[in-house]
Amino acid sequence: MRIYIDMDNTICDYIKKANQIKEALPSVIWPQSLPKFFLDMEPVENAIEIVNWLRKYHDVFILSAPSSRNPNSYTEKFLWIEKWFDYDLAEKLILSNYKDFLIGDILIDDHKNGKGQDRFNGELILYGSLKYPTWDKIKIEFEKGDKK
């Protein structure tokens, strides 16, 4: 099974990092425009462990939209994946604003639209939703065999 996983607010805590910058530097309108913004985000709880678990059984790619406010996001997202996972998964990083262009079975994302998620040809697992509020819940669904 081919699974695409979004980065921001799905495996890394974008909101927490943005809020930290807004608190420290209230004059910054676009926190994501600052150098190292994407590189310094913390992982979402249990995301690293469960994504690695999924990698044992499925073909996993990271599918993230680049930041139009920070051209360094391309490099920083690659380095973040390499830091928290490994080079092999960093090589499977796809940066696109058109998530519906990719062919796959599952897309795990925290948004149901805006970057083509609603037109993705497979199943959308909406991370943070009532059905999938945490990575633990996503893992349970895969373990039950509902996603094989």
93: in domain = yes
119: in domain = yes
pLDDT tens for each residue of 54-84: 999 999 999 999 998 888 999 999 999 999 9
Tokens of 31: 């926190």
| DSSP secondary structure letters along 84-124 | HT-HHHHTTEEE-S-GGGS--SEEEES-SSSSSGGG-SSEE
148: in domain = no
What's the rounded mean pLDDT across residues 43-62?
Answer: 98
The secondary element (H helix, E strand) that includes residue 70 is: none
Model pLDDT, residue 68: 87
What's the rounded mean pLDDT across residues 113-129?
Answer: 95
What is the count of structural domains for the chain?
1
| CATH number (domain holding residue 78) | 3.40.50.1000
Residue 147 has pLDDT above 70, yes or no: no
Identify the domain containing residue 60 by its residue range.
Answer: 2-143
